[in-house]
Amino acid sequence: MASLGVDLGGTKIMAVLVDDGEVVAKAKKSTPKVGGPSDVLDAIASVVAKADPDGRADSIGVGVPGPVRPGSGVLPLAANLPGWDHAVDVAAGLSERCASRRVVVDNDVNVGTLAEVRFGAGVGVDNVLGVFMGTGIGAGLVLDGTLRQGPRGVSGELGHTYVAFRDFDQAQI
């Protein structure tokens, strides 16, 4: 059975289609810098269609840059996405755009940390703190082999920190 995973980031959207443990297709697109959630969901749907044009995967997993209300598919806020200053039901919005396929949504670093425990550097380890740096800094927490999200989806989170680069004079350091 094929699976489709999507990574929604502040700068890019990437999808991979996996069948029998092998990546069989990939697609990537820049995240819209203007507009709002509808524009971002449209962009995700276009990447999904490019990676899986035949609809082989019956469900889609999406990692998003922000805390997700556990089990809801709702992203309350995403500071690094255009116009995303209110709660958006990513699961429902993307399902509508992708032939009513089932969509599961969680924080990108949570799913990345869980993937490391199941398939990567954390195989055989029960307790892992994953820290990822991208447009911001995020963390995922796996304890006793279980992803810990907490009631608000932010357990283990170091905080969504925006990193602004600027030139420093040596005298300022």
Q: Which residue has the tokens 């962009």?
A: 43
- 44-98 pLDDT, tens digit per residue, is 999 999 999 999 999 999 999 988 988 899 998 888 898 988 999 999 999 999 9
> Among 37-41, 88-92, 164-168, which is the least confidently predicted range?
164-168
Structure tokens at 137: 């800094």
Instruction: State yes or no: pLDDT of 154 exceeds 80.
Output: no
Say which residues have a Cβ less than 8 Å from residue 151's Cβ, sequence separation at least 6: 70
**Radius of gyration of the chain, Cα coordinates, nearest whole angstrom:** 17
Phi, psi of 75 (to 5 degrees): -100, 110
Band of pLDDT at residue 173, cut at 50, 70 and 90: very low
Buried b (16+ CB within 10 A) or exposed e, 13-39: bbbbbeeeeeeebebeeebbeeeebeb
Say which residues have a Cβ less than 8 Å from residue 51's Cβ, sequence separation at least 6: 4, 15, 16, 17, 25, 26, 27
Measuring CA to CA, which residue among 45, 19, 16, 50 is closest to residue 32? Answer: 45
Band of pLDDT at residue 121, cut at 50, 70 and 90: very high
Is pLDDT larger for residue 151 or for residue 20? 20
Gap between the Cα atoms of 35 and 155, Å rounded: 30
Rounded to an integer, the average pLDDT of 141-159 is 83
Gap between the Cα atoms of 114 and 118, Å rounded: 6
Is pLDDT larger for residue 42 or for residue 66? 42
Q: What is the pTM of this model?
A: 0.85
Q: Which residue has the tokens 């892992």?
A: 128
Instruction: State yes or no: pLDDT of 138 exceeds 90.
Output: no
